[in-house]
Each structure stands twice: as structure tokens, then as C-alpha cells.
Amino acid sequence: MRTGLILLAAGNSERMGASKQLLEYRGRPLVRHAAAAALQSRCRPVIVVLGARASAVREALAGLPVECVENPRWAEGMGTSIQAGLRAAIAHEVDGVVLALADQPLVTAGSYDRLTAEHAASGKAIAASEYAGTVGVPAFFAAECFPELEALAPGQGCKDLILAHASAARVACPEAGTDIDTPSEYARLNAAG
């Protein structure tokens, strides 16, 4: 089975007030940190969806064997970025994808591999991360879910799709609960080391 990984890094970071993809964490930009974790997983290809500040984000990824895809509709919402990444993944004839975010710096290759392993073991079409009393990304979606991902509204993420599938597998992923959206969250991340 071939599983691609789509790393969403297109947003404008309005609540942060600066491009969070480019914020430094452990000596490198968050987006490079996330891409490196993805590349350590079993997932291939690793596709990074760019939008806001695409040139700077692409530069932050220089030298990494990732496929960068620019989403010209990024300002319309996450659904458009999911679809841009999905189109690129489908071109590689993948059997499934893991959707991931560039601003969850504690997520590791092991986090991604647990999702794909859960799908392989359970046969369930969706394996979502469970953390902080909810479910979300990173999440695995088998190819049978691709039409539903392609049908997302522009401003819609994949959480509603996960919740609509009562049979979706849930994989404990407390590390995904660290999501950097605000300056205070970024400060806490750096204070924790």
C-alpha cells in the first residue's frame, strides 16, 4: 500500500500576526521541522501545499525531497489546500493519504506511522488522531474517501468528515494537541524547549 502525506502550509497565520510556517523552532522554521518529520515516516510522496508567502516557505524547504504545490485559492480556506494536495497525491497513484499541519511541532514520524498502521490493522477508511477531547489531524484517509475530500467546501477542514464517519478509527496522539496559532502558544512551545 502506498500512502502519501499532505502537509498543509498555505495559511496566512492571522491570529499569529506573522507567518507561523517560518517561525523558528529548535533552530529551523516550523515548516521545515514538520517536513523533516514527515520524511522520516513511511509515507511517500511528501507533498507540501503552499499559499501565503509561498516563495519564503519554499525557500525554507530548500534541499528537502518534498513536492511543493502552490494553491492559488489558499485565501478561500483549508478545503482548497486539502484539494490541491490531494490532486498532487492522486497523480502519484497513492492508496491513501495522511493530512498533516505545519504548525503541530510535536507530531513525529511515529505519529504518522501509527495512523497508517491502524488503517492496515483495522481496515477502516479513516484513522484520525485523538487528543484534547477531540479528533482531528493528522489523519489517514483511504482512497475511498478521496471523493468526500474533493467535495469539501473551500473553508472546511476535514474534522466534519471524520466525525461523519462513526466507524473512523481513533489513534491516541496527544502530541497533536500542541498547535501553534497565537503568540502565547508559540511562547509556551519555546519555553518548554
Domains of the chain: 3-192 (3.90.550.10)
How far apart CA 139 and CA 19 sit, in angstroms, is 24
Q: Are strands 28-29 and 24-25 parallel, antiparallel or unpaired?
A: antiparallel
Per-residue pLDDT band at 192 (split at 50, 70, 90): confident
pLDDT for 15 beyond 90? no
Rounded average pLDDT over 63-91: 97
**Entry pTM:** 0.96
How far apart CA 183 and CA 15 sit, in angstroms, is 8
Rounded average pLDDT over 41-67: 97
Chain centre distance of CA 14:
18
Q: In this structure, what C-alpha cell is assigned to residue 123? A: 481496515
How far apart CA 152 and CA 173 sit, in angstroms, is 24
pLDDT for 17 beyond 70? no
What residues contact 42, with CB distance under 8 A and at least 6 apart? Answer: 3, 109, 112, 113, 116
Across the chain, mean pLDDT equals 95
pLDDT attached to residue 27: 93
Three-state SS string across 37-73, please? HHHCCCCCCEEEEEECEHHHHHHHCCCCCCEEEECCC
State the helix-helix crossing angle for 30-39 and 109-122, rounded to 10 degrees. 40
Rounded average pLDDT over 125-141: 97
pLDDT attached to residue 65: 98
Rounded average pLDDT over 48-77: 97
Per-residue pLDDT band at 12 (split at 50, 70, 90): confident
pLDDT for 54 beyond 80? yes
- Residue 8 burial by Cβ neighbours in a 10 Å radius (0-12, 13-18, 19+): buried
Dihedral sign from CA coordinates of 123, 125, 128, 134: negative
Tens of pLDDT, residue by residue over 90-116, are 999 999 999 999 999 999 999 999 999
CB atoms within 10 A of CB 56: 14
